Amino acid sequence: MKAENENMPHRRDFLKEASILAGSLLGNSDLWAGANDRLRVALIGGGGRGRALIEEMLVTPGVEIAGVCDVDQNRLRQRASEVEQKTGRRPRMETDMRRLLEDPSIDAVTIATCDHWHALTTIWACQHGKHVYVEKPVCENVFEGQRMVEAARKYRRVVQGGTQRRSWGRFRRTHEILNSGLIGDVYMSRTLLTGYRAPIGFKPTEHPPSWLDWDLWLGPAPKQPYHANLVHYNWHWFWDFGNGEMGNNGSHYIDISRWFMKKELPTRIYSAGKRAGPADQGQTPNAHNATFIYEDGSILECEIRNTYTAEASEWHFYGTKGYLHFQENIMVRPRVFNVEVYLEGSKEPIPDIGTYDDIDHFGIFAQAVRENKPEMLTCDVEKARISATHCHLANLSYLLKRDLKFNPQTERFIGDDEANALLTREYRQPFVVPERV
């Protein structure tokens, strides 16, 4: 089976074409959001994903990193210095993102903060006329995702979710194969996400360090004492700031499953799990199974294990004519992918289905901004927030310890006031996600 497609550009060709296209639009088209031939972008959040986004921006033609924001003064200086060393220009440095959002010379922002800041930052950015690249999960709860889409559409901004596997060639090719009907009607998928995470222990409450603006770090979350298990990264395992592994990496895996199956929101959700292993300060489960059932009876299952295992992360797709197995080894670099397709009961897979070149995930965002066409994105905010919503529904079922029935049209639980109350959260002034954007 041939996997070549002349319409799938190589990354270098794509970037070259994007640069030429940008040059043809700049200065003579009201589609262009920028003031000149540069797309001026500010980075908000300078952790691991922030550093990775810097590298992606540096290799994207026509993009200038104009500003860096972090509430950690050490990270702020470090990221700004890295940009200066590689470009010869020192970006504007701010602790408070609002100062950067008010800057009319900045065209777009990339958001790599803690989960609980994603939605409000996106909404503020759209309201200030900025385009947005926001990391996964794009929102911390269901209500926030709805408001993010509303803001993107109201202010006509391009908002890209950071679920970049949709841009990777192996996934694009597999998506094409499944949607060609090769294995028939796909009625079930099973996802296994593995990766050991050590217990985080216990840290005492103490005064926040001098280099950290603790009030801004908390932002929309409830006021509470500082402890070192929150800053940095382990915030993922606390409900006020993160969504556990279900939202952290499960958002990637569920996004692929529902993309391949062509599914939107489910009608029924059940999940269960626990925090296995030695007791620690974390709140979210590190062993978590979730089942999503759709209106037509199709099933999507996601199993997460952060405990010891020798298994690689993988997807299984079951169709009326065959079966597809997709394995991703995330523990090695470069990552290893393996796809096998078995048809009509055969014990031998068909020949390799091939792959496509990767599409540059940030590069396509930059091009979509220049043309002001959200439809060019591989993961528009609406797609990203639906995948994130799956994670939130799974977490709510886990917390409530019961099966939940959901109306995909109203995006409310059916006859369940307790569950509906958890679709949003209490916000701390002045960091409030508005009812109307």
pLDDT number for residue 310: 87
Task: Say how far apart CA 332 and CA 13 lie, in whole Å.
Answer: 27
C-alpha dist (Å) from residue 88 to 78, 111, 194, 253? 15, 23, 41, 38
- Taking only the tens place, the pLDDT of each residue in 93-113 is 999 999 999 999 999 999 999
Residue of 178, 211, 248, 243 lying closest to 392 (CA atoms): 243
- Crossing angle for the helix pair 73-87 and 48-58, to the nearest 10 degrees: 20
- Crossing angle for the helix pair 142-154 and 381-400, to the nearest 10 degrees: 170
Is residue 332's pLDDT more than 90? no
Is residue 165's pLDDT more than 70? yes
Q: What is the mean pLDDT of residues 410-420?
A: 98
Domains of the chain are: 11-165+364-381 (3.40.50.720), 169-357+385-416 (3.30.360.10)
Q: Which helix (H) or strand (E) holds 54?
A: helix 48-58
Checking DSSP bridges between strand 322-329 and strand 108-111, what pairing results, if any? unpaired
Q: What is the mean pLDDT of residues 208-228?
A: 98
Backbone angles phi, psi at 410, to 5 degrees: -90, -15
The answer to whether the peptide bond before residue 232 is cis (omega within 30 degrees of 0) is: yes
Q: What is the mean pLDDT of residues 378-385?
A: 98
Whether the CB-CB separation of 233 and 245 falls below 8 Å is answered with no
- Taking only the tens place, the pLDDT of each residue in 306-328 is 999 888 899 999 999 999 999 98
Instruction: Label residues 6-17 b or e (16+ Cβ within 10 Å = b).
Output: eebbeeeebbee
Q: Is 28 exposed, middle or buried (0-12, 13-18, 19+ CB in 10 A)?
A: exposed
pLDDT-derived band at 63 (thresholds 50, 70, 90) equals very high
pLDDT number for residue 289: 98
Q: What share of the chain is helix, strand, coil (3-state, %, to 5)?
A: 35, 20, 45
pLDDT-derived band at 89 (thresholds 50, 70, 90) equals very high
- Taking only the tens place, the pLDDT of each residue in 111-161 is 999 999 999 999 999 999 999 999 999 999 999 999 999 999 999 999 999
Six-digit token pair at 73?
Answer: 């003064």
DSSP for 299-326, written as a single string:
EEEEEEE-SS--PPEEEEEEESSEEEEE
pLDDT number for residue 26: 33
Residue of 345, 344, 267, 341 lying closest to 299 (CA atoms): 267
Q: Which residues pair with 40 in a beta bridge?
A: 64
Neighbours of 346 (CB within 10 A): 11
Is residue 7's pLDDT more than 60? no
